[in-house]
């Protein structure tokens, strides 16, 4: 009797203990199921560094790690996304370089080497919450994907969700990412339209999927079993695709709306300033200004006022015209880069041009010959420039001559400028304007210094001319080394 009582008490205690411990086991199970790794990824179709990371970040690793979800924002071709990148920078201090993987505040990987060398190790080390643009960190399972701003792509396993409409509102969007049999889930949803476009553009390649449908403003693309073809409201999928194409074209024309948004490109201030410095020490630009000042002093040697007015008018004309040329060059390169494959190679081509120009300048240091190809004004043009400048007798005349002289300066200064404009061409015109202004300010800075030295009487024009002739070899070496090293860094993907 006693033993039966004790046995009964034992089972009662065991029962109560199991009730008490059940929540702990439940929490543990939930934690095991919630160990998702979420990362926000900024990229750009056409970015050469992104071409190295896109396949691994968006395709290979999500297929390899089932707990990984990547929220992608493409910034070169998608209006609105560049603005979002600026907000992330404000809240997470990530900078504006791409490719960029964000994990949390001051926790990110940037650049192809950093991402390729470290991202997979981060995945193996644990879980990560989703970093939202407002600075909030949230578990992926608790995230309402419809509220993600602008136009993300969400990559998980063998599928991608593409937001096509800003007011997209697909219920329980998470289920389409988590289920194993996606086709059956979509069939149960019922309210879908078959989608013919099975590809997704990455930088440097296209990812092809087996199936695609559109549901409530989202495109779902995946590999594997398909769903029955559905035609909604007598609207064929080709018609839907045609409408979507029209919308895409319309979105493309609306990029100017986001002109004031910060947007990173492959450019850095180091590149812009380096190229501008090379252009600024160009001997032929010095020679033209010296010739102009000599003409002004010859016409009226006692008038200091003429020196400052004519000099400023001439330099202002050069500045304005070069700014205009830069905008035209950027626009032209944009047209060429409309073809994605060309855009991908354009950066390396520009790097190759920089290497060639650098070697030509180094050649002029070793064996100088006036009028060197790509480094100085051709000898054929020099008499024409001299004749044009010799007619300057007033500040107004100096300004007018400055406009025309820029055409003769272009052959010897256009190389670094084309590279600069190519680097800036991935931005819209308004975004490229500030660095272009800085470039041209640096370009005319030596002209301003020479003009003020002569105006203040600290230097004679002949002294400046003699200094230029005596140091022309060193100027070519300085410019050549910068151009060569910068070009090599661009080709190798170091900057």
Q: pLDDT for 310-362, tens place per residue? A: 888 888 998 999 999 999 988 888 777 555 556 557 777 888 888 888 888 88
The 3-state DSSP class for residue 162 equals strand
In 3D space, the residue among 465, 443, 408 whose CA is nearest the CA of residue 278 turns out to be 443
Sheet hosting strand 153-156, strand order edge to edge: 107-110, 100-104, 37-43, 68-74, 153-156, 159-163, 218-222, 211-215, 193-194
| pLDDT at residue 24, rounded to an integer | 42
Query: What local confidence, expressed as pLDDT, does residue 325 receive?
Result: 92
Q: d(Cα 361, Cα 375) in Å, to the nearest integer?
A: 6
Nearest Cα neighbor of 486 from 271, 273, 328 is: 271
pLDDT computed for residue 109 by the predictor:
93
Instruction: For tokens 């929220």, name the residue.
Output: 71
Check residue 9 and give its pLDDT: 61
Q: What is the pLDDT of residues 52-78, one digit of tens each?
A: 899 999 999 999 998 899 999 998 778
Q: List residues bridging with 153 in a β-sheet.
A: 72, 162
Sign of the dihedral defined by the CA atoms of residues 218, 221, 222, 225, in that order:
positive
Find out whether 260 and 226 touch, Cβ atoms under 8 Å.
Answer: no
Q: Is the pTM higher than 0.75?
A: no
The Cα 174–Cα 154 span in angstroms is 10
Calpha distance 295→216 (Å, rounded): 72
Please tell me the predicted confidence (pLDDT) of residue 230.
58
Which residues in the chain show pLDDT less than 70? 1-34, 190, 229-268, 298-303, 337-344, 371-377, 391, 393, 426, 428, 458, 493-495
Residue 144 tokens read as 């309402």
Residue found under tokens 């006036």: 370
The angle subtended at Cα 409 by Cα 275 and Cα 482, nearest 5°, is: 20
Supply the DSSP symbol for 118.
Answer: H
* Predicted local confidence at residue 238, as pLDDT: 40
Strands 37-43 and 68-74: parallel
Give CA–CA dist 251/256, Å, rounded: 10
With both helix axes pointing from N to C terminus, report the angle between 283-299 and 472-492 in degrees, rounded to the nearest 10: 140
How far apart are alpha carbons 40 and 137 in whole angstroms? 11
**Is the bond preceding 99 in cis, omega lying within 30 degrees of 0?**
yes
Residue 489 sits at φ, ψ, to 5 deg, of: -65, -35
Residue 93 CB neighbour total at 10 angstroms: 11
What is the 8-class DSSP label of residue 59?
I
- Between helices 269-280 and 472-492, what is the axis angle to 10°? 160
Backbone angles phi, psi at 164, to 5 degrees: -105, -20
pLDDT at 441: 95
Q: Work out the end-to-end distance of the chain between its first and last CA atoms, rounded to an integer number of angstroms.
A: 85
The residues pairing with 235 across neighbouring beta strands, listed in sequence order, are 232
């Amino acid at each position: 009797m006693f033993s039966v009582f004790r046995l009964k008490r034992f089972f009662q205690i065991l029962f109560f203990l199991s009730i008490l411990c059940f929540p702990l086991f439940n929490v543990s199970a939930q934690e095991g199921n919630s160990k998702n790794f979420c990362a926000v990824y900024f990229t750009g179709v056409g970015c050469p560094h992104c071409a190295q990371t896109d396949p691994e970040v968006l395709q290979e690793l999500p297929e390899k790690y089932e707990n990984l979800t990547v929220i992608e924002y493409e910034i070169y071709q998608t209006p609105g996304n560049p603005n979002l990148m600026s907000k992330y920078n404000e809240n997470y201090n990530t900078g504006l370089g791409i490719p960029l993987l964000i994990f949390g505040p001051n926790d990110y990987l940037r650049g192809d080497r950093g991402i390729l060398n470290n991202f997979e190790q981060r995945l193996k080390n644990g879980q990560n919450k989703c970093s939202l643009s407002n600075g909030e960190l949230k578990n992926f399972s608790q995230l309402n994907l419809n509220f993600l701003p602008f136009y993300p792509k969400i990559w998980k396993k063998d599928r991608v969700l593409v937001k096509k409409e800003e007011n997209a509102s697909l219920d329980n969007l998470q289920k389409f990412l988590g289920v194993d049999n996606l086709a059956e889930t979509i069939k149960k949803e019922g309210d879908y339209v078959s989608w013919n476009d099975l590809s997704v553009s990455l930088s440097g390649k296209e990812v092809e999927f087996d199936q695609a449908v559109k549901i409530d403003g989202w495109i779902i693309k995946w590999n594997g079993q398909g769903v029955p073809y559905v035609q909604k409201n007598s609207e064929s999928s080709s018609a839907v695709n045609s409408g979507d194409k029209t919308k895409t074209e319309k979105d493309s024309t609306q990029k100017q709306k986001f002109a004031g948004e910060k947007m990173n490109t492959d450019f850095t201030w180091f590149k812009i300033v380096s190229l501008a410095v090379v252009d600024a020490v160009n001997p032929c630009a010095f020679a033209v200004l010296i010739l102009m000042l000599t003409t002004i002093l010859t016409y009226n040697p006692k008038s200091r006022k003429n020196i400052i007015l004519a000099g400023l008018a001439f330099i202002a004309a050069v500045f304005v015209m070069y700014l205009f040329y830069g905008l035209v060059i950027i626009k032209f390169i944009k047209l060429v880069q409309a073809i994605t494959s060309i855009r991908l190679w354009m950066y390396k081509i520009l790097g190759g041009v920089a290497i060639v120009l650098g070697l030509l300048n180094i050649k002029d240091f070793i064996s100088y010959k006036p009028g060197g190809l790509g480094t100085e004004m051709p000898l054929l043009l020099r008499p024409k420039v001299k004749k044009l400048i010799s007619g300057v007798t007033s500040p107004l005349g100096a300004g007018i001559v400055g406009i025309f002289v820029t055409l003769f300066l272009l052959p010897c200064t256009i190389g670094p400028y084309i590279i600069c404009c190519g680097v800036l061409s991935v931005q819209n015109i308004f975004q490229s304007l500030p660095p272009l202004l800085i470039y041209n300010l640096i370009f005319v800075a030596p002209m301003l210094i020479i003009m003020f030295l002569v105006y203040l009487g600290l230097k004679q024009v002949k002294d400046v001319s003699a200094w230029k002739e005596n140091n022309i070899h060193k100027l070519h070496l300085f410019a050549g080394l910068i151009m060569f090293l910068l070009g090599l860094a661009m080709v190798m993907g170091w900057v």
